[in-house]
């Protein structure tokens, strides 16, 4: 395990990095370039993190997480939002919350309608397709706010994990009055790992979920109203997890 400054990836090496190391870490300017928009356009999404709903499913008894969740299907250049549905993971991938149908509030339609939303999701899906053919992609989008209003906030209460998908993107949307929140990634079948802290809004870590395990360490308050906002996106082939037993909500 090494502890260094964030090991940023040259955007021109994004595909090779995912194939070789199982992850790519992009600077905010490169994320905007990849999405074909400006950082100002990406920032039009930020205000929606102030409107997230409490996560009532936390099994550790905490009240530190707020979130919204929606699903999409990407087929070529077409990104289509599905009927609202519960999020489901098997216990093999989420020992704490697996096996539960968790129905969260959907991402606000006004947020989905912003041009930056579609540009970002399509561009990242295209990046995944350059590594592994997957159309159509079954995409889940999670807006998270982890706060420190009651002390410690846990971005990944389930610990180091895989998500049971093909690719995972974690984008830092913002940090305010906190310390901690270190990102840790480990080889799924080896000893190597990296640890670093994403500090600048729209920093992105894109992960091959079959190759690496990931987690984020707890956050602690460093002032009033401390919180950490992220956008987590996943891409999966063949259907959403739990499709054979999923209770789709319309």
* Phi, psi of 77, deg, nearest 5: -85, 0
Helix axes 28-35, 115-131, angle to 10 degrees: 90
Contacts for 117 with CB less than 8 Å, ≥ 6 apart:
45, 111
Q: What is the pLDDT of residue 89?
A: 59
Q: What is the pLDDT of residue 25?
A: 97
- Structural domains of the chain, with CATH: 11-230 (2.60.120.620)
pTM exceeds 0.85, yes or no: yes
For the chain (250 residues), the mean pLDDT of every run of 10, in chain order, is: 74 96 97 98 98 84 90 95 82 53 90 98 96 90 95 85 91 97 89 90 96 93 95 94 53
Q: What is the pLDDT of residue 133?
A: 85
- Burial of 107 from C-beta contacts in 10 A (0-12 / 13-18 / 19+): buried
What strands lie across the sheet with 183-187, from one edge to the other?
2-3, 193-196, 183-187, 212-216
Neighbours of 75 (CB within 10 A): 11
Residues in the chain: 250
**CA gap 51, 72 in Å, rounded:** 21
pLDDT tens-digit series, residues 98-116: 447 678 899 999 999 999 9
Q: What is the pLDDT of residue 250?
A: 31
pLDDT tens-digit series, residues 42-99: 999 999 999 999 988 776 777 899 999 999 999 999 999 999 988 765 556 554 554 4
């Amino acid at each position: 395990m090494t502890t260094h400054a964030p090991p940023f990836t040259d955007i021109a090496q994004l595909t090779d990095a995912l194939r070789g190391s199982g992850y790519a870490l992009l600077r905010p300017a490169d994320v905007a370039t990849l999405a074909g928009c400006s950082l100002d356009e990406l920032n039009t999404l930020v205000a929606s993190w102030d409107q997230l709903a409490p996560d009532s499913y936390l099994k550790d008894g905490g009240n530190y997480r707020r979130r919204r969740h929606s699903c999409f299907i990407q087929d070529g250049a077409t990104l289509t939002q599905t009927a609202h549905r519960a999020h489901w993971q098997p216990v093999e991938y989420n020992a704490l919350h697996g096996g539960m149908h968790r129905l969260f509030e959907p991402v606000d339609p006004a947020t989905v309608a912003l041009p930056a939303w579609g540009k970002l999701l399509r561009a990242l899906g295209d990046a995944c397709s350059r590594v592994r053919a997957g159309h159509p992609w079954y995409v889940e989008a999670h807006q998270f706010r982890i706060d420190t209003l009651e002390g410690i906030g846990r971005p990944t209460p389930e610990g180091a994990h895989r998500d049971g998908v093909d690719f995972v993107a974690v984008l830092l949307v913002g940090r305010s009055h906190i310390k901690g929140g270190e990102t840790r990634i480990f080889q799924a079948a080896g000893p190597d790992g990296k640890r670093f802290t994403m500090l600048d809004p729209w920093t992105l870590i894109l992960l091959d979920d079959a190759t690496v395990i990931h987690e984020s360490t707890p956050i602690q308050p460093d002032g009033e109203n401390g919180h950490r906002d992220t956008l987590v996106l996943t891409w999966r082939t063949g259907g959403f997890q739990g499709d054979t037993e999923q209770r789709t909500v319309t």
